[in-house]
Amino acid sequence: MNIVMVMRSQAGVPGRAGVPGGQIGMVQIARALSAAGHTVALFVGGPRMSYLDGLDDIRATHLRWPTWLDNATAAAPEPVRDLGRRARRRRWLAALTALPAMATADVVHVQGLEDAEALLPAVDMPVVVTHWGRVGRWLPTGTAPAADRALAERIAQLRARATVVAIGQAQAEALAAAGLPAAAVIPPGIDLQHFRPGDRHLTRLQLGLPLGDGVVLYVGRLAPDKNVETLIQAFASLHQQLRSSRLLIVGDGPTKAQLQRLVEQLGVDTAVTFVPFIAHHLLPAYYNAADVTVVPSNYLETFCMVALEAIACACPLVVTDQVPEIRQAFPDVASLASYDVAGLRDQMAAALRGHLTPADNTRVIDYTWSNAARQYADLYQSTRRQGSGSISGR
């Protein structure tokens, strides 16, 4: 089967940094489909970014669009931002539809509803869209009738032309509430040859971490919906009890400066390390070096790949009640309410004292990229276009 996969650029990730799960997922699905004998052309809506390190065995075509222009557009007044976004989208669409692979594609697989919506008028072939994020912007406001009518029309077009995939059951329910029922729920996968238990002593030496310290790990974007403030507050309380404890915050994003100020205000700046963005293939060392990984999210995680990676590496894990897919699949994972500072402190203390065991990871075998690719291949086949199809305007 001939497949064109359309991936968003790093510029489309909130905060423009962190661990872009949707992008990693699209690349890994492309790799698994290729390994299964399908012909895959990967189109990335921007320049090559460092999160692709270690995943370069799948050839990608990148949109020629300067990053500085994205930055300038983001800093401009709203009318200018709108013009910039439209210009970028026109260039994106022209480059994508001009791909030679589009002429022979059996299906186009797009990351995100917005990109699928932009592509639909230009193609006459099956479009599968995996929506990796939240659904809030696709819900009517209830206070702006004209905007809600326009949104309903957009949703109707997507529903008529695109096959929607959810990455978790909670997200599928949210999509259905927005009028976009998912044709399938296909969870992300994990590379079990890469994310697996390792030697804590060795990985700490590799990362330059003291062997005797208790290490708490956070991996992800630094943004309001990740609730890292609560983690820092809980760690500050923990550090008063366990002076040898330290917190590693791996990622970047719009709240980084605010979080750094909070760390200083709480007097734990010598015990907290902000680690710049780490390419995906380097993350297992951090999980294997840590005593516990914390996912403190205060908004629904559509699917938490960080939690799955920690489980696969046999790293003890604490999550909030906003990580339903992981809590259901791995019920022995420690969980608590999003703003429970004292509870989080106590769970981290238990982990650092060796009293919080890793979750049972026997079910991680269900979350392989090859399994996800098989499910997508079956879905492609069921939506495959009849006849040769075309690209509008060509």
Which parts of the chain register pLDDT below 50?
Answer: 12-19, 386-394
**Relative orientation angle of helices 369-383 and 21-35, to the nearest 10 degrees:** 80
Q: Which two tokens stand for residue 389?
A: 């199809």
Q: What's the rounded Cα separation, in Å, for the pair 314 and 317? A: 9
Q: What's the rounded Cα separation, in Å, for the pair 224 and 227? A: 6
DSSP symbols for 292-357: EEEE--SS--S--HHHHHHHHTT--EEEETT-HHHHHH-TTSEEE-TT-HHHHHHHHHHHHTT-SP
Cα atoms found within 13 Å of the Cα of residue 89, Cβ hemisphere only:
14
Amino acid at the residue 155: I
Amino acid at the residue 382: S
pLDDT given for residue 111 in this prediction: 93
- Long-range contacts of residues 53-57, Cβ cutoff 8 Å, at least 24 apart: 53/279, 53/280, 53/281, 53/282, 54/279, 54/280, 54/281, 55/24, 55/27, 55/28, 55/31, 55/280, 55/281, 57/31
Q: Which two tokens stand for residue 169?
A: 């059951």
pLDDT given for residue 123 in this prediction: 92
Q: Do 364 and 192 contact (CB within 8 A), yes or no?
A: yes
C-beta neighbour count of 217 within 10 angstroms: 23
pLDDT given for residue 24 in this prediction: 86
Give the model confidence (pLDDT) of 267-297 as tens digits.
999 999 999 878 788 899 999 999 999 999 9
pLDDT given for residue 11 in this prediction: 54
Amino acid at the residue 388: S
